[in-house]
Amino acid sequence: MSLVTKEIECSGETLKLTNSRVLYWQREKMLVLSDLHIGKTAHFRKAGIAIPSQVLHNDLKRLKNLIQHFDIETILIVGDLFHAEVNKDIQTFKEWKVQFEAKEWRLIKGNHDRLQLSIYEDLGIEIDKSFHERTPFRFVHDVNHCQEAIFCISGHTHPGVLIKGRGKQFIKLPCFQVSKSQLILPAFSEFTGLNTGCDDKGTICYAFTKTNLFEI
């Protein structure tokens, strides 16, 4: 994958969107992402559904490349770092994370982040229960924790767009959704569905492929 970026301005700050499903806030040296759903592949395999473990390895490889590419002090995950119960995918993540222990890791708990607090402590991850504020933004998992008059950056909905192709074919692509008061991140894990519904006419979608990132 070729890394493609696009700078946008939100509340007077410059944010860099990427076709690798994250945004980078240079002033704070912060990488922001959502919905990794670590443990989902193992959860499915436990249920007898043959999902390859390579899915998680690919996600972690992409995240490693991003951490090494940008000048980063903080990795902020706006919810759903994990998917379900404790399983071996979490141990895989723990062993992978050792190489980035010098970074600050923060998690805003999402609806799937149900592990005991001791597990997050053992992983060296700081927890914010509902939101994390860093002027001029409020970071949340879902919009229920947004606050009026503060620009909100969230995840949770796995936004996507439906693009008409040849004939009657349609292509689904993940995207960032940006409005005057909110930015919704795409799911970081590729093993997620896409929600292509967007009723707000004032929202701009930045869709992407492995080689491109463009405004719709």
The SS3 assignment for 68 reads helix
Residue 19: CATH number of its domain: 3.60.21
Q: What is the pLDDT of residue 169?
A: 82
Structure tokens at 168: 């009657």
Which residue segment(s) compose the domain that 104 sits in?
5-215
Helices (H) and strands (E) in the chain, counts: 4, 15
Place of tokens 């959502």: 34
Structural domains in the chain (count): 1
The answer to whether 186 touches 176, Cβ cutoff 8 Å, is yes
Contact between 174 and 186 (Cβ < 8 Å)? yes
Q: Report the pLDDT value the prediction gives residue 148, as an integer from 0 to 100.
A: 85
pTM recorded for the entire structure:
0.92
The span from the CA of 156 to the CA of 195, in Å, is 10
100: three-class secondary structure by DSSP = helix
Hey, what's the torsion of the CAs at 62, 65, 67, 68, to 10 degrees?
Answer: 170
Q: Are 181 and 151 in contact (CB under 8 A)?
A: yes
pLDDT of residue 51: 60
The neighbouring-strand residues paired with 17 are: 6, 23
- Please give the chain's pLDDT, 216 residues, in tens: 799 999 999 999 999 999 999 999 999 999 999 999 998 655 555 545 556 568 889 999 999 999 999 999 999 999 999 877 778 888 999 999 999 999 999 999 988 788 889 999 999 999 998 999 999 999 999 988 998 889 999 999 999 999 877 777 888 999 999 999 999 999 999 877 888 877 677 899 999 999 999 998
